[in-house]
Amino acid sequence: MNPTIVSFVYLVAGILFILGIKGMTKPKTAVRGNTLSALGMLMAVVVTLLDSSIMNYNLIIAGVLVGGIIGATMALKIQMTSMPQMVALLNGFGGGASLTIALAEYYSKLGTAPASFADLLTPVAATAANFGQGPEGTIALVSIGLTVLIGAVTLTGSFVAFAKLQELMKKSYGLPGGPTGNAIFLLAALAAVVALVLNPGNTVAIVSIVGLALLLGLFLVMPIGGADMPVVIALLNSYSGIAAALAGFILGNTVLIVAGSLVGTSGLILTQIMCVAMNRSLANVLFGKMAEGGETVDADEIYAGKVTSAQPDEVAMMLEMAERVVIVPGYGMAMAQAQHAVRELADAMEARGTEVEYGIHPVAGRMPGHMNVLLAEAEVPYDKLVEMDRINPTFEDTDVVIIIGANDVTNPMARESEGSPIYGMPILNVDKAKNVVVIKRSLSPGFAGLPNPLFAMDHTLMVYGDGKKAVIEMTTALSQA
């Protein structure tokens, strides 16, 4: 195939990716955008397959079959509540693909044919000229080193993120020395990149980068707790894109660079949005410390004798009179698989003429937009899913707020108690509503480990128990009223 035609098709593919993401700016055009993007992918793959240097299709067919079956099975079977796990795995596979491409490119340019694993470590007499003319050879080597580094970190980091989300790994582990330990690993890996660039035949260097980066990925994510996963997933998403763009520099491939940088920026922007929504810096999330609270707050002191609990049918009586209700979902709704039950409760209220909206905090759930997807699955129209900034001014005119499985994002200490670890975090001002109903298993604290004064307020009712069961009981009581 003529290289000019290939480049032209890559350009068209790049345009289709851009139009695809542009389509995502509105729910109505999003499906079409996704289709355009997939079309771009198909074109890029087909034109590459016609490349004259591809002589042997056996491995390609095998890989596409295996990957296609795994990918399609995952995509069609996965539950919406488990979407963070799916995205974590996809991030990891993306990093793994860039990692293996960079390694393949390195060993093919090296011009040796390693016969055993020991040969992988045998130094080879090679110069930067093996990888390209003049500065291009050096740039290719730097790109190989960095792609391997970022790809490997993304691979293992994402698998740890998956294990945490799937609750296979419940505890947090870290290197002794915390951030310092990680920094030492990172510097060692970067030193190996430099060694590789200085002596391109130094196969020990490239294998060291792989090993160090795989470990670094583990140690980076292992200390991070579940509720910080939205940031971690978004960041790893960005890494997988950056690795792809760097792989583009190795291969001199334009479409990899365009697509990789779009993904890289997407992940970074989402990371930043999540950090702002938690009022924490990226370093603070990554190196795992919630700010140390000034005065320790005693949960018993806040709750003692002030918490009012209620049964679902009592809440239903309150809902009968309400003109406007806001439902605030959190990760607990996902855990209880209560999204359909919540929609049915909303239907029952709307049938009585009550106005119902949903208030969505940016970090509710385990990944950006998690709650929206769950509620969309339950067929809640997306115009009822209201962002924090738009829902907050409406709480004063709201008769009842129903909080299901959310805690820290409603904690008024973030607004009022200076010196509290979460002070300054933007929250949903649910306490401004006339009545607040909290559906929760117990008074146990959320991820921040803080008591929530909201639970002890005069106008707050606690409904203890399983979220789904409680909501269904409310719906039943309301429909019988």
When asked if residue 204 is in the footprint of other proteins (CB under 8 A), the reply is no
Smallest distance from other proteins to CB 414, Å: 19
Pairing assessment for the beta strands 435-440 and 385-387 based on DSSP bridges: unpaired
Pairing assessment for the beta strands 308-309 and 435-440 based on DSSP bridges: unpaired
Give, as ranges, the residues between 359 and 398 that touch other proteins (CB under 8 A). Answer: 360, 362, 367-370, 372-373, 376-377, 379, 381-382, 385, 387
Point out which residues pair with 327 in neighbouring strands: 358, 402
**For the chain, first and last CA: distance in Å?**
73
> CB under 8 A: which stretch of 69-77, 186-194, 281-289, 405-413 binds other proteins?
69-77
How far is 311 from 401, CA to CA, in rounded Å?
A: 16
CB burial readout 443-481, b (16+ within 10 A) else e: beebbbebbbbbbbbeebbbbebebbebbbbbbbbbeee
Give, as ranges, the residues between 251 and 280 that touch other proteins (CB under 8 A). Answer: 251-267, 269-270, 273
When asked if residue 38 is in the footprint of other proteins (CB under 8 A), the reply is yes
Smallest distance from other proteins to CB 224, Å: 18
Q: Which is nearer to other proteins, 13 or 438 (CB)?
A: 13
Q: Which is nearer to other proteins, 89 or 433 (CB)?
A: 89
When asked if residue 1 is in the footprint of other proteins (CB under 8 A), the reply is no
Residue 407 tokens read as: 């805690």
For residue 377, with 0-12 CB atoms within 10 Å meaning exposed, 13-18 middle and 19 or more buried, which class applies? middle
Among 68, 123, 177, 294, binds other proteins (CB under 8 A): 68
Smallest distance from other proteins to CB 264, Å: 7
Among 1, 5, 49, 351, binds other proteins (CB under 8 A): 49
How far is 37 from 44, CA to CA, in rounded Å?
A: 11
Q: How far is CA 117 from CA 114, 121, 145, in A?
A: 7, 8, 20
Backbone angles phi, psi at 412, to 5 degrees: -65, -15
Smallest distance from other proteins to CB 364, Å: 10
When asked if residue 158 is in the footprint of other proteins (CB under 8 A), the reply is no
Pairing assessment for the beta strands 400-404 and 435-440 based on DSSP bridges: parallel
The single-letter DSSP state of residue 449 is -
Query: Is 399 a known active-site residue?
Result: no
Give, as ranges, the residues between 116 and 155 that touch other proteins (CB under 8 A). Answer: 120, 134-136, 139
When asked if residue 211 is in the footprint of other proteins (CB under 8 A), the reply is no
When asked if residue 18 is in the footprint of other proteins (CB under 8 A), the reply is yes
Give, as ranges, the residues between 400 and 459 that touch other proteins (CB under 8 A). Answer: none
Assess contact for 442 and 464: CB atoms under 8 A. yes
Among 59, 118, 292, 442, binds other proteins (CB under 8 A): 59
When asked if residue 282 is in the footprint of other proteins (CB under 8 A), the reply is no
3-state secondary structure of 117: coil
Annotated catalytic residue, options 408, 431, 458, 466: 408
How far is 333 from 385, CA to CA, in rounded Å?
A: 15
When asked if residue 201 is in the footprint of other proteins (CB under 8 A), the reply is no
Residue 454 tokens read as: 């909201």
**Cα–Cα–Cα angle for 242, 247, 248, nearest 5°?**
95
Among 12, 114, 207, 465, binds other proteins (CB under 8 A): 114
Among 205, 215, 234, 456, binds other proteins (CB under 8 A): 234
Q: Which is nearer to other proteins, 75 or 194 (CB)?
A: 75
Among 12, 100, 204, 445, binds other proteins (CB under 8 A): 100
Residues designated catalytic: 408
